[in-house]
Structure 1
Amino acid sequence: MRKTIIASALIAASVLSTLAHAADAAPAPEHTFTSNVTLASEYIYRGIGQTNRKPAIQGGFDYAHSSGVYLGTWASNVSWLTDGNSTVSNSIEMDFYGGFKNTVGDFGYDVGLLQYFYPGSGYGNNPNTLEGYVAGSWTFLTLKYSHSFSDLFGWVGSKNSGYLDLTANYELVPTVNLVAHVGRQKVNGSSAEGASYTDYKLGVTKDFSGTVLGLSYINTTASSAWYTNPLGKDLGKDRIQFSITRTF
C-alpha cells in the first residue's frame, strides 16, 4: 500500500509538471483588445499644456495582432483652441493611429501613422495634424522621431516639422519605475520662427495591479512669447503633473 501511494504521488506530480510546462508554452493570443482610462491634473503634450492648467480625463482602446500590426484610438478633453477665442467651438482631441511593431531579443522597433483630430468649427488654419513616426528601443530606452505630413496643429506653413524624443522607463524595484524624458520639437515655417523648443520630464510611476499612479516634473525651453495663451497662462512653464491610469 505504501509503495502504491508513493507511486501515485509521483505520477500526479509528473502530470502536474507536464501541465505546468504546457501552460508556460501556450502561444500568445492572435488578437488582443485592451482599453485604458486616465485622470490627470493637466493634459500636457510634448511639455505644453493643453487644458489651461486644469484637469483632464482621457481614455483609449487598442487592438493588437500577433503579427505585430496594431490599431488604436485615444481621446482627451482640451481647451487650447478655445481659450480666449469665443469664435472656436471645440472641447476634445481624438487620436487615431496604426502601425507595426516587433521585438528581437532586447531590441524593438515601431513604425506607424497618427492622426490628431479636433472636431469643431471656427478655426483659422486647420489644427488637425497627420504625423508618421518611427521608434527603436533597447531594454528600458526608446528613441522616437515623429514627422508632420500636414501643418503642425494649425501653425501656418509648418508642414514637415519634426519631434525627436528619448525616453527611459527604468524599473527601480518591482512595480515602481523611474521615467526620464527629453524631446526636441522643431516647428518649420517663417510664421512660427522661434516656436521650436526642448522639453524635459522626470517622474515615477507605481503599478497597483493594473492601476498606475504617476508623479512627474515637467519643464521646457519654450518661449513665453509664443506659448502664453490669451488668458495669460504660460503653457510651457515648469509644473508638477499627477495622474492615475487604469488598464483593462
Structure 2
Amino acid sequence: MTALRKPAAWMTAAISSVGFFSTTTVLAQFAPEPAAEPASAWTVTANVALATEYRYRGLMQTNRRPAIQGGFDVSHESGFYLGNWNSNISWLGDSNPDVSAPIEMDFYGGFKNTFGGGDWNYDVGVLQYYYPGDYPAGYVRPYTTELYAGIGYGPVFLKYSYAPTNLFGFADSKHSWYADLSANVPLNVWGLTLNAHVGYQKVQFTDASYADWKLGLTKDLGKGFSVSVAYIDTNADKTVYTNAKGRYMGKATAWASISKTF
C-alpha cells in the first residue's frame, strides 16, 4: 500500500490563502459601508471681476478707467455671514491730488434668511468702507460705516442703509442714508437675467443728495462665469460731483463686466 503523503508546503499555503481571501470576500460583502461625513454647516465662496469702470451708486470711482474687483464670503446655514470685497479706485485722488488712496476695502457681516414659504427674504447687517492711504492734514477721511436692512419678495428687494458716521468724506454728514429698490428677473431665455435698480442717496446737511438708476442684463456662462451689461445714470449736481480733473462723476454711461464665482 502506498502511504499518503502530506501536501507540499506551497500547496498548504495556497489553500490557506484561498480560504483567507474567500472569508475576507464574504465578510466584506456583509460589512457595513462607512458612514458618509456630515456636510459642513459653513460655506466659503470667492469672486473676482473685471469691469469697464467702477460705478458705485451711479458715481464713477475710477474716472472712466477699468476696475479689477474681488472678495470672499463665509456663510453659515443659519443665515449668518461675513465677507470682504475690494476694488481699485481713483476718485479720492481725482478730487484732491494730495490724496493717495488707490484701494477700497469693504468689510461686512450680517444675517439673512427666508420666510413665508421661501418667497420672502430679509437681510440685516453692518458694512465698513475702508480706504487705506495717505491724506493731508485736516482732510476728512472717507471711511464710512453703514447699518443696513432689507426685505424682498421673489426677485424684488428693497434695502435701506444708514450711516452713523460721516459719509464718504462729506464733513458733518452723519445720519445720511441710501434707499435702494432692485429687481433681478430671470428671463428664461439664453440664460439672461434682467437687472433693474433705482436708488436715492441722502447726504445730510449738504446739497449733494441725488438719485441714480440702472437697467441691464446678466448672462450666465456656466462654471461660475457671468457677463453683465448695463446703462447707468444719475441726476447728481454737476457743481458738487465734478472732480478736479473736470469730469462729471454722475454722467450717464454704458457699463460691462465679466465675473467668476468660486
TM-score with structure 2 setting the length: 0.82
Letter matched to residue 177 of structure 1: T
- State the partner residue of 2:167: 152
How far apart are 1:45 and its partner, in Å? 0.2
- State the partner residue of 1:120: 133
Given candidates 231, 236, 244, the residue that maps to 2:250 is 236
- State the partner residue of 1:205: 218
- State the partner residue of 1:163: 178
Q: Secondary structure at the match of 2:46?
A: strand
- State the partner residue of 1:59: 70
Matched ranges for 1:1-248 at <5 A? 29-83=40-94, 85-104=96-115, 105-123=118-136, 124-173=139-188, 175-189=191-205, 192=206, 194-209=207-222, 210-248=224-262
How far apart are 1:83 and its partner, in Å? 1.2
Show structure 1 runs of 4+ deviating over 4 A: none
Whether the aligned pair in 2 keeps the contact of 1:176 and 1:207 (CA below 8 Å) is yes
Aligned residues between the structures: 221
Residues 181/28 of structure 1: CA separation in 2 closer, same or farther (3 Å cut): farther
Sequence identity (%): 54
How far apart are 1:88 and its partner, in Å? 1.1
Q: Distance in 1 between matches of 2:146 and 2:39?
A: 30
Letter matched to residue 184 of structure 1: Y
Q: RMSD in angstroms over aligned alpha carbons?
A: 1.6
Letter matched to residue 213 of structure 2: Y
Q: Distance in 2 between matches of 1:84 and 1:137?
A: 36
Q: Which runs of 5+ in 2 are unaligned?
A: 1-37
Q: Which runs of 5+ in 1 are unaligned?
A: 1-26
Residues 84/220 of structure 1: CA separation in 2 closer, same or farther (3 Å cut): closer
Whether the aligned pair in 2 keeps the contact of 1:28 and 1:66 (CA below 8 Å) is no
How far apart are 1:84 and its partner, in Å? 5.1
Residues 109/28 of structure 1: CA separation in 2 closer, same or farther (3 Å cut): farther
Letter matched to residue 233 of structure 2: N
Whether the aligned pair in 2 keeps the contact of 1:144 and 1:165 (CA below 8 Å) is yes
How far apart are 1:85 and its partner, in Å? 2.7
TM-score with structure 1 setting the length: 0.86
- State the partner residue of 2:33: none
Q: Distance in 2 between matches of 1:85 and 1:122?
A: 9
Q: Secondary structure at the match of 2:82?
A: strand
Letter matched to residue 257 of structure 2: S
